Amino acid sequence: MSQNETPLFTGLMEHAKKNPVQFHIPGHKKGTGIDPEFREFIGDNALSIDLINISPLDDLHQPKGMIMKAQRLAAEAFGADHTFFSVQGTSGAIMTMVMAVCGPGDKIIVPRNVHKSVMSAIVFSGATPVFIHPEVDPKLGISHGITTESVSKALQQNPDAKGVLVINPTYFGVAADLKKIVEIAHTYQVPVLVDEAHGVHIHFHDELPISAMQAGADMAATSVHKLGGSLTQSSILNVREGLVNVSRVQTILSMLTTTSTSYILLASLDAARRRLATEGRELIDQTIRLANSIREQINEIDHLYCVGKEILGTKATFDYDPTKLIISVKDLGITGFDAEKWLREVYNIEVELSDLYNILCLITPGDTTKEANILVTALRELSKQFSHLSGRVHIEVMLPDIPLLALSPREAFYSETEVVPFEESVGRVSAEFIMVYPPGIPIFIPGEIITEDNLKYIKKNIEVGLPVQGPEDFELKTLRVIKEHKAIR
């Protein structure tokens, strides 16, 4: 088959064209039974392919027809031995990777700044995390990836680990020396699992960091929906044969997946793969050029700094993705969240994320010079509006230390717990996840000892309006901790 073909998308359209009389779910029956306003808005085409796994359309849980063909084309495009489609986002693909290599008590080497889906999989599988400290950028206040040295050290101390998980590239587009990390792990016969949520496009352009499959990694969970043009929630799991059991990967992915798989999402993966494989290089080339021109213009604006290739050269900053615009607003005397809010209210601009010190804007093939000019104009105005604060407000970068793990995350999650006031939780063991989303990196995971510094960091994020998520008590007046049993008098 050729990369110009879309067996799944085309098969679906042909099925819909036959206009079969449907006595199966979804009960809206091609949209005729749906709320009329919604139908009008979504359109009949979309509703006609909102189908499920009836036999002519194959079955994601046991693909033998058009889904199998679409997955094979994707494997070829991404340089994998096997590609599995996920309608459970990259979170589902990540959980599959971890659970495919780890069982109860098995060790997995992971950077501490992983997405919550990794931690969820660690709780589900009962694996024990061996944490690696990510390199922290003290100027920007963000975490990068892990170094080859830290992976070597972790494997020397834990040669029995069942996997090494790497985030590559990070949310901010920074890549580690993945090829070297893979080489090191493979000398121990340990598979490398890559969280490639932010790197679907990197495989298709040689000026971008190398992809997980190019680096020889064993599995990669890749968000096609984030930067590859498929619909939200659709992702892929790429697998290389050798150190992982491919049938087990399929079984676990199936265990974690709905039986009512959305064909709109699946078809969008097929179409996105075609575009990436056939036009990706050219589209990404234009995107890189557009992003670089925006970067240059931002760096001419007073008090703003847009990160470029000067970020490279540390042990964890091996390569970077220039289509991500990390814009530091710290020197303007405002927080990233202040900038996000101002851009929304004054210019109707929505950024990808903000944190205490930065905003992140993503440039994709969906952008043109029109959007670029709006962003640059808005940032010039932002700088003018707040320049009176620059130099007067000193913003100190604060990233708290990683808390110590007292219990395995699973043990903590299933322990007897109690609720205590937020301020009184110092020294107790957390029973919940707490994170700022996005990026969704936990500040505490179940089993970690709560420290004063981390509580301060949470408070600071709440104060400036950033979305702290995870705890049962949304207002964070209380925290759930492991119950302590005092001696009976």
Ligand X SMILES: Cc1ncc(COP(=O)(O)O)c(C=O)c1O
| Rounded Cα distance, 168 and 220, in Å | 9
Q: How far is the CB of 91 from ligand X (least distance, A)?
A: 3
435-225-90 Cα angle (round to 5): 50
Q: How far is the CB of 175 from ligand X (least distance, A)?
A: 13
Q: Amino acid identity of 61?
A: H
DSSP 389-419: GTTTS-PPP--PPPPPB-S-HHHHHTS-EEE
Q: How far is the CB of 136 from ligand X (least distance, A)?
A: 16
- Closest to ligand X by CB, 107 vs 198, is 198
- Among 1, 168, 169, which Cα is nearest to 71's? 1
- Closest to ligand X by CB, 167 vs 455, is 167
Position of minimal CB gap to ligand X: 89
- Closest to ligand X by CB, 235 vs 354, is 235
- Closest to ligand X by CB, 134 vs 191, is 134
Q: How far is the CB of 110 from ligand X (least distance, A)?
A: 12
Q: Which residues contact 403 (CB under 8 A, 6 or more apart)?
A: 430, 444, 448, 449, 450, 451, 454
Q: How far is the CB of 232 from ligand X (least distance, A)?
A: 8
| Rounded Cα distance, 287 and 283, in Å | 6
Task: At 148, list the tokens.
Answer: 């080859």
- Closest to ligand X by CB, 63 vs 169, is 169
Preceding omega of 438 cis (within 30 degrees of 0): yes
Note whether 118 and 69 are within 8 A (CB): no
- Catalog residues that contact ligand X under the rule CB under 6 A: 89-91, 94, 115, 117, 167, 171, 195, 197, 223, 235, 438-440
- Closest to ligand X by CB, 94 vs 100, is 94
Task: At 84, list the tokens.
Answer: 């599995």
| Rounded Cα distance, 17 and 11, in Å | 10
Q: How far is the CB of 234 from ligand X (least distance, A)?
A: 8
Q: How far is the CB of 488 from ligand X (least distance, A)?
A: 46
- Closest to ligand X by CB, 195 vs 367, is 195
